[in-house]
Amino acid sequence: MDDLIRRAVEDLAAAKNVAALTGAGISIESGIPPFRGKGGIWERFDPMEFAHIDALMRDPAKVWRILVKEMKEIVDSAKPNDGHKGLAKLEARDKIKTIITQNIDGLHQAAGNTDVIEYHGTFAWQRCMDCNQKYETRKVDISEIPPRCECGGILRPDAVFFGEVIPAEAMWRSRQAAAGCDLMLVVGTSAVVQPAAMIPVIAKDNGARIVEINPERTPLTDEISDYLIMGGAGEVINQIVTALEKM
């Protein structure tokens, strides 16, 4: 692994425009479970029953009771870990410009990154299913499920459910960031959910180097990534940032 860390440090030092694509893996060390794999959310809940827009429309109280309430408790208390903090340090050193994240936990912004594209929306806000008014999730009273808007409508996370489209601005901006970067860090994503999984492909097609950080191989590893640094995001990013700081 040391050789690959060294290689990543050299590549980052040489790069002019770095972007990152992150997934649930970067937030595991903050106590937020991933979706797939051991201990993953979809191991306990069928996504079609709880995370599809049809399920939400059919029975919002059930989706709130089983999935959203638990997510609120976890996300409300989660703090950025070394992975998020390391990416923020890379922005502070003018290395990373944009982070495209599939995560809805807001931890990149909490760590200090300022240009974060929330590809799957955000859990920081709830919006009314009737009038679209938004409420900060932390302040939403969940003593009654589902929580309601002043207008009486039901609140839902301002996040993308299966069966919904990616917010247009996030889609457009992430394409720009992917096409414009010369190095993309792909951190903690299984790269199986579309269209997010196409983002590194767009970067690669436009000449960027793709560096994956993940303890497991993914569908990108052989075809798209230049190399995979196998390991947890916190430890790997920490090592890279520490080495860069010494240069």
Which residues make up the interface to ligand OAD (CB under 6 A)?
Answer: 23-26, 28-29, 34-37, 40, 51, 102, 120, 160, 162, 188-190, 193, 214-216, 218, 232-233
Token duo for residue 210: 């793709």
Q: How far is the CB of 217 from ligand OAD (least distance, A)?
A: 8
Return the residue nearest ligand OAD (CB atom): 25
Query: Contact 187/193 with Cβ under 8 angstroms?
Result: no
Query: In this structure, what are the phi and psi dihedrals at residue 234, rounded to the nearest 5 degrees?
Result: -60, -50
Query: In this structure, what are the phi and psi dihedrals at residue 63, rounded to the nearest 5 degrees?
Result: -65, -40
One-letter amino acid for residue 168 of the chain? A
Q: How far is the CB of 135 from ligand OAD (least distance, A)?
A: 20
Q: How far is the CB of 150 from ligand OAD (least distance, A)?
A: 28
Nearer residue to ligand OAD within complex by CB, 18 or 213: 213
Q: How far is the CB of 107 from ligand OAD (least distance, A)?
A: 13
Q: Do the strands 183-187 and 155-159 form a parallel or antiparallel pair, or are they unpaired?
A: unpaired
Nearer residue to ligand OAD within complex by CB, 50 or 208: 50
Query: Contact 193/220 with Cβ under 8 angstroms?
Result: no
Nearer residue to ligand OAD within complex by CB, 19 or 24: 24
Token duo for residue 194: 């579309």
120 part of the active site = yes
Nearer residue to ligand OAD within complex by CB, 63 or 131: 63
Query: Contact 156/163 with Cβ under 8 angstroms?
Result: no
Catalytic residues: 120
